[in-house]
Amino acid sequence: MTKDFLPISQADMKKRGWREVDFVYVIGDAYVDHHSFGPAIISRVLESHGYKIGIIAQPDWKNEESIQVFGKPRLGFLVSAGNMDTMVNHYTVAKKHRKQDAYSPGGIMGKRPDRATIVYGNLIRKVYKHVPIIIGGIEASLRRLGHYDYWSDRVKRSILLDSGADLISYGMGEHSIVEIADALDSGIDIKDITFVAGTVFKAKSLENVYDYIELPDYQEIFENKHKFAESFYIQYCNTDPFTGKRLVEKYKDTEYIVQNPPAKPLTRQEMDDVYALPYMRTYHPIYEKDGGIPAIKELQFSLVSNRGCFGGCNFCALTFHQGRIVQTRSHESILEEAKILTEEKDFKGYINDVGGPTANFRHTSCEKQLTKGVCKNRQCLFPTPCKNLTVDHKDYISLLRKLRKLPKVKKVFVRSGVRFDYAITDKDDTFIRELCQYHVSGQLKVAPEHVSDKVLPLMGKPSNEVYERFIRAYKKINEELGMKQYVVPYLMSSHPGSTMKEAVKLAEYIRDMGYMPEQVQDFYPTPATISTCMYYTGLDPRTMEKVYVPKSAHEKEMQRALIQYRNPKNYDLVFEALKLAKRMDLIGYDKRCLIRPKDKKQVGKQEKGLKKQKKKRTIRNVHKKK
């Protein structure tokens, strides 16, 4: 196997002695050959199985010639929008254009279209009428069936229909893409590849489809929010590779979308093999003149330890993409990569991260998951830890200790997110102790997201008391170590269930912490999450109970402003929010107040309002005594 970037031109192809490529991989990101980038993994996995891959990164979607670089591939086209959903990449939650694209040369925006998977798929189909097209990556994966689209504010069809593609390889596609490639190579027509786990295909009838659950049809979910919630929850309960059923979504009498059950998780050996492939570990040199690709900076000296997450946050799409079964690399695999990092010319002695979706998950949540799958209607950590949960940090502690001892390594950071509720459930405090002592640089980032016990259950997060327990333990250990280190909490505004009253409660908590968040995440309704289903339907799909949803842009601005109430720019929004919440007692000069009155007239009105409130309370108390 040649240790070089995969071909990006005819000249590169001829240099390798190839007359054609088996697959052309069209990507929305710039070409970065690093295992933190999905297209790099898929292309290298195919290469390791003997397939020839040509890369077309960020083609000019207005020019048909841009996808004809290699001519007609022998087996087909692969299409991925890249590491991020293009709409999330392009737009803020307020639907405003972002200024930078970290996955494009020099961070310049505009190198790819909105809904890149659809645009690229149709461009290819226009030029190559009958060549197989397989789409994948997070954009395709989360839109594999009918889904709510925040940017158009409507329910859209399966991306398989709108892209003109033949198959979707959803989730982490190492298993499915090789099986698809082998089937095509053996001469099976793309229309007959209906048997691969982790794929979605089109069918004209259900005559040859078996053991399936039929979802409400597309027209029903388009017109009826209750039906949408019902359909979504069936999908959510069938994301496990061991228990998941085949799902069918009808569009017309002769048009069905069929989702096969998810592919099996990778074994540890398979994970090791994937991460040992000959990645160049950086961006293609053609981007050097533009200043490189910004996204590689943090990832270049980070180590992927695991994938999958049993945390179960409702606003996260990991359940639909990577799944709830945690898969891990061996210590040997990670240490071998760490040694390679230390030899790179730009390495300064700091490993930026050792983790994955959740840093401190290094094994499945319980033993049965690897044979029987995860529980359909129960979470591992929420609302309280399951009695069968395996809580043990020994393996992760051991890995971090080994990494710390490597020559040339000065510091090993843990930045990909520590699940604090899992950490505090461990009766042995060694992990938190060593985290404080060796793996934090002044600030530890954790994600309580909110403090209201009315909002937290809708987020799939534990009660605020659990977070408080973790904070006390973290503070105590730092004091014992003689270290001054702080927690930086990630907080979210405008999540379904958050009324103005709950938003004020969060602001009061921030006041009492004496902390001013620099960054606040407004809830972003991305496809395929429980929270997005709540946002669109106003229903909790798990119970079908109604949920309050802050939807107007102005209300969202107010909730966000409350979290950053000390910012003078937010004064008017905070004042209006407090007025709406009937919390004018928080405007004044008392240390409990969030903001000060603007003038004496306002102070007078405020005092008058407080006196009225006091009088009403007194009258109520008198009546109670009577």
Residues 6+ apart with CB under 8 A from 538: 225, 546, 547, 548, 549
- Are the C-beta atoms of residues 401 and 446 closer than 8 Å to each other? no
**Strand 199-203 to strand 167-169: parallel, antiparallel, or no bridges (unpaired)?**
antiparallel
- In 3D space, the residue among 75, 147, 153 whose CA is nearest the CA of residue 118 turns out to be 147
Distance CA 188, CA 615 (A): 81
Going through 284-417 in order, the beta strands assigned E by DSSP cover 302-304, 306-307, 327-328, 350-351, 353-355, 411-412
Distance CA 431, CA 395 (A): 10
Q: What is the pLDDT of residue 621?
A: 56
Q: Name residues of the chain where pLDDT drops below 70.
A: 1-2, 600-626
- Are the C-beta atoms of residues 587 and 511 closer than 8 Å to each other? no
Q: What is the pLDDT of residue 616?
A: 60
Task: Convert the pLDDT of each residue in 294-347 to its tens digit.
Answer: 999 989 999 999 999 999 899 999 989 999 999 999 999 999 999 999 999 999
CA angle 286, 288, 294 (to 5 degrees): 110
Residues 6+ apart with CB under 8 A from 149: 155, 156, 527
Distance CA 479, CA 601 (A): 47
Ligand-binding annotation for 316, yes or no, is yes
Residues 208-223: b if buried by 16+ CB within 10 A, e if exposed: ebeebeebbbbebbbe
- Reduced to 3 states (helix: H, G, I; strand: E, B; else coil), residue 266 is coil
Q: Alpha carbon 212 to chain centroid distance?
A: 28
pTM of the predicted model over 0.85: yes
Distance CA 501, CA 497 (A): 10
- Are the C-beta atoms of residues 389 and 395 closer than 8 Å to each other? no
Q: How many CB atoms lie within 10 A of CB 399?
A: 22
- In 3D space, the residue among 538, 537, 577 whose CA is nearest the CA of residue 556 turns out to be 577
| CATH for the stretch 10-259 | 3.40.50.2300
- In 3D space, the residue among 433, 440, 444, 432 whose CA is nearest the CA of residue 411 turns out to be 440
- In 3D space, the residue among 245, 177, 174 whose CA is nearest the CA of residue 215 turns out to be 245
- Are the C-beta atoms of residues 36 and 301 closer than 8 Å to each other? no
Q: What is the pLDDT of residue 513?
A: 87
Tell me the longest C-alpha to C-alpha distance in the chain: 97
Residue span(s) of the chain under CATH 3.40.50.2300 come to 10-259
Name the token pair of 1: 């196997």
Helices 430-438 & 394-404 angle (0-180, nearest 10): 30
Q: What is the pLDDT of residue 626?
A: 47
DSSP-assigned beta bridge partners for residue 199: 169
Helices (H), 429-539: 430-438, 456-459, 464-481, 500-513, 530-537
